[in-house]
Amino acid sequence: MATTAQAIASESDDALMARVAARDADALRLLADRHAEIAWRIAYRMLNDAAEAEDVAQDALLRLWQYAGRWQAGGPGVAAWLTRVATNACLDRIRRRRFVGDDAVPERADESPLADEVIEEDDVRSAVAACIEALPDRQRAAIVLTYYEERQNRMAADILAMQIKAFESLLFRARASLRDCVEGKGVTV
């Protein structure tokens, strides 16, 4: 039984489309499992609505079922076909929206951070910068190379002409000193 399921699951899209043309619902289900997400993702990104994206994906799969008899093997594939159908369906829905509604476009909520959040972030950033500046030179270099320049420990150790274990020890001490300094300033990170 498992080998039959594996054999069916390994069938090419063209072979599955031939089965869909013969009205095999299991073949359509397999194609949907493989490719429906593509249609949904495109629709969601274009329409910004999960429910509408689901409708578009289902419509695309329904069209795949309806037009399976016209399928030509060796073409660009089911994923490409569903992409085209979903994109066109989204464009149709967007055009319809323009003609249907006379309502004013609702205002979007302001997504910028609140003033107190900005102030708090600035305080944290200033405290961390001051504490980094207060670190001994090699500890400061270890923090900057690791966190700001995103160097791996081995590369940062090479830059500082250190053995990897010595660098990791230096970085551990630098983190502890930095944490103590920031906490001493009363800032929570």
What confidence score (pLDDT) does residue 23 get?
A: 92
Q: Which long-range contacts (CB under 8 A, 24 or more apart) does 101-105 make?
A: none
- Burial class (CB within 10 angstroms; exposed 0-12, middle 13-18, buried 19+) of 55: middle
Task: State how far the Cα of 5 lies from the Cα of 1, in Å rounded to an integer.
Answer: 6
Task: State how far the Cα of 39 lies from the Cα of 79, in Å rounded to an integer.
Answer: 8
CATH 1.10.1740.10 fits 9-100, yes or no: yes
CA distances in angstroms from 7 to 1, 15, 66, 189, listed in the order given: 10, 12, 25, 54
Give me the residue label for tokens 């493989």: 34
CA distances in angstroms from 151 to 19, 26, 132, 145, 156, listed in the order given: 53, 51, 17, 6, 6
What confidence score (pLDDT) does residue 166 get?
A: 95
Give me the residue label for tokens 């629709």: 43
Task: State how far the Cα of 128 lies from the Cα of 188, in Å rounded to an integer.
Answer: 10
What confidence score (pLDDT) does residue 10 get?
A: 76
Give 115-184's CATH code, choosing from 3.40.30.10, 3.30.70.20, 1.10.10.10, 3.40.50.1110.
1.10.10.10
Q: Where in the chain is the domain with CATH 1.10.1740.10?
A: 9-100
pLDDT in tens, the chain (189 residues): 444 555 556 788 888 889 988 999 999 999 999 988 988 988 888 888 889 989 999 999 999 899 888 888 887 888 888 888 888 888 888 888 776 655 666 677 778 878 888 888 888 888 888 888 888 888 888 888 888 888 899 988 988 899 999 999 999 999 999 999 988 888 776
Q: Where in the chain is the domain with CATH 1.10.10.10?
A: 115-184
pTM over 0.75: no
What confidence score (pLDDT) does residue 186 get?
A: 80
What confidence score (pLDDT) does residue 112 get?
A: 81
What confidence score (pLDDT) does residue 164 get?
A: 94
